[in-house]
Amino acid sequence: MENLLQMNDFEVAIVENGQKAMDWLSDNQPSLIISDIEMPVMNGFDFCSKVKSDTETAHIPVILLTALVDTSEVIQGLARGADSFVTKPYEEAFLLSIIQRLLKESAETKNSYVSKC
C-alpha cells in the first residue's frame, strides 16, 4: 500500500500501532488516515474512536482496512466514526477512488466552514 500511495503522489507516514499513531497525531495533521483493524496495543476500532472523539483530529477522514468480512464489524467500524471501510485484499483502483472521494469531501467541508466564518 505504501508503494501504491507514493506512486500516486501521496506522502505516507507509517506508524506501527494505534497508540503510537495517537502520539504521532499530537504533532502531525494528516489529510487522511488508513488504519488496519487488527493491530497490537490498540485495535483499529478503538483508534478510530479516539481520533473521532478528539477535537484536534475529528475532522480527519478515517478508512478502516481489514481482512475481516463480517458485516457486524463493518457496522462497528462505521459506528466508531470511520468514514469508509475497505476489506483486504482490495482493488487498488477502488482504494484510490475512496481516498480521492474522502479528500475531496474533506476539502469541500473545510472550504464551506471557512466561507461561513
Number of domains in the chain: 1
What pLDDT, on a 0 to 100 scale, did the predictor assign at position 57? 93
The CATH number of the domain holding residue 71 is 3.40.50.2300
Ranking 50-59, 64-73, 93-102 by mean pLDDT, the lowest is 64-73
Between CA 10 and CA 2 the distance in angstroms is: 9
Between CA 114 and CA 47 the distance in angstroms is: 28
Domain that holds residue 68: 2-116
What pLDDT, on a 0 to 100 scale, did the predictor assign at position 6? 95
pTM for this structure? Answer: 0.87
Per residue in 9-65, pLDDT (tens digit) is 999 999 989 999 999 999 999 999 999 998 889 999 999 999 999 999 999 999 998
